[in-house]
Amino acid sequence: MKSAPGLKAQALRWLALRDYSKKEMAARLLRVAREPQVAEAIPALLGWLEDKGFLSDARFAASLARRRMARYGNSRINMELRNHAAEGALSEDAMRELAESEADRARAVWARKFGTPPADLRERARQTRFLQQRGFSMDAIKKALATGEG
């Protein structure tokens, strides 16, 4: 059971390790704060963390996008941002970078997983499904598979 000052220390320890969304931090703090009066202090603590710049949905969104870019497509990244209630937090520059690099990222993921062009329609469908499950758009998938064939 944590006291309100103990919650602040715990939140700062977590934030020292990585960025969190406001929703994610609130859920983690709620699990630690078992007493109702301590749980009531969580919204004020979250506000303080945001005011001091320790907690930022924009920074969290940028961090998550950077971590996921090498393995996942835009729709998967956007889904994760929605799950963390940080979907609108990604800057326009970061969104543009994701959109511009999606075909290249799909090519890289395809090359790591398969490396050889599909031999038949069944294999092409399998490779397409794999990239779709990773969240890549059909346009990016078509470009990735076209590179593999040519």
Is the Cα dihedral 130, 132, 133, 136 positive or negative? positive
Q: Does the pLDDT at position 3 exceed 80?
A: no
Its pTM surpasses 0.85? no
Cα–Cα distance for residue pair 6/119, rounded to 1 Å: 60
Least confident range from 70-74, 117-121, 146-150: namely 146-150
pLDDT recorded at residue 147 = 76
Matching residue, tokens 């919650």: 7
Question: Which band of pLDDT confidence, cut at 50, 70 and 90, is reported for residue 2?
Answer: low
**80-122 pLDDT, tens digit each:** 988 888 877 777 888 888 899 999 999 999 999 999 999 999 9
pLDDT at 150 over 60: no
Q: What pLDDT is stored for residue 90 in this prediction?
A: 78
| Whether the predicted pLDDT of 34 surpasses 80 | no
pLDDT(1) > 50: no
